[in-house]
């Protein structure tokens, strides 16, 4: 049985005082039978490095291993800072920074090369959804993202129209897309392996159990609802059943 993976992406929505408050209130959720991961702002990774029951993720990484790339953070640096995962391909990076499928694939390769697990975000826009292109978009993004990888990564299905809107996908619809991603992983790698498939998009404690009851959903990628310890602990407990 796959252990659920619950990932908090704090983006740039929290500062050191709030993180210290989070740490002071956090209680390890080993009884929830989930893997808990937090991706804080890069500068604050150290504030979470000794928190029990939490693994760390970078919110992004460079597509280059080293060199004259001002402001970038390499995969090797994330590893040195105590990360086990790295998030790439978030819709904000795709839309606001013009990141292509090729760039995202290269970043995933960089993470894998140093021993980190890539968490690759993907999802369709509202226009693509209305045009009936969801599954075509997902297949293209999956196949492009795993180019050059030797093992199945984690995928996070985040329909763009559901991120931060308070309007999550219907759990059954999300489960159908998640299963399609899992099938793609099996067809590419011969088996799904450790390639867990997460759902993200307006996740909160109240809808966690419903999402996790759907076949194909192996965990969650959480935004705003993960910013307080109590809310994130509730999500982790609910995800673990």
Q: Which of 195, 203, 191 is nearest to 178 (CA)?
A: 195
| CB proximity list for 214: less than 8 A, separation 6 or greater | 171, 172, 174, 175, 178
99 is catalytic: no
64 is catalytic: no
Phi, psi at 199, each rounded to 5°: -110, 140
Q: How many residues does the chain have?
A: 241
Reduced to 3 states (helix: H, G, I; strand: E, B; else coil), residue 188 is helix
Selecting among 112, 158, 184, 230, the annotated active-site residue is: 158
The rounded Cα 211 to chain-centroid distance in angstroms is 15
| CB proximity list for 42: less than 8 A, separation 6 or greater | 58, 59, 73, 81
Selecting among 90, 99, 112, 124, the annotated active-site residue is: 90
By annotation, the residues acting in catalysis are 90, 158
């Amino acid at each position: 049985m796959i252990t659920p993976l619950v990932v908090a992406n704090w983006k740039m929505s929290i500062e050191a005082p709030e993180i210290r408050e989070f740490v002071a209130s956090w209680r390890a959720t080993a009884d929830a039978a989930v893997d808990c991961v937090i991706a804080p702002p890069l500068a604050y990774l150290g504030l979470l490095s000794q928190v029990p029951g939490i693994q760390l993720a970078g919110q992004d990484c460079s597509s280059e291993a080293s060199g004259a790339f001002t402001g970038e953070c390499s995969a090797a640096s994330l590893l040195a800072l105590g990360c086990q995962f790295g998030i790439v391909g978030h819709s904000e990076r795709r839309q606001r920074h013009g990141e292509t499928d090729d760039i995202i694939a290269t970043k995933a390769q960089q993470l894998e090369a140093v021993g980190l697990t890539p968490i690759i975000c993907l999802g369709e826009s509202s226009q693509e959804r209305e045009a009936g292109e969801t599954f075509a978009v997902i297949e293209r993004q999956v196949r492009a993202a795993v180019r050059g990888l030797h093992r199945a990564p984690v995928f996070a299905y985040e329909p763009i129209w559901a991120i931060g809107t308070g309007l999550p996908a219907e759990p059954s619809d999300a489960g159908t897309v998640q299963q399609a991603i899992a099938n793609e992983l099996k067809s590419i790698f011969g088996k799904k392996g450790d390639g867990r498939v997460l759902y993200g998009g307006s996740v909160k404690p109240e809808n966690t159990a419903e999402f996790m009851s759907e076949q194909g959903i192996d965990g969650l990628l959480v935004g705003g609802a993960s910013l307080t310890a109590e809310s994130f602990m509730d999500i982790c407990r609910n995800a673990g059943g």
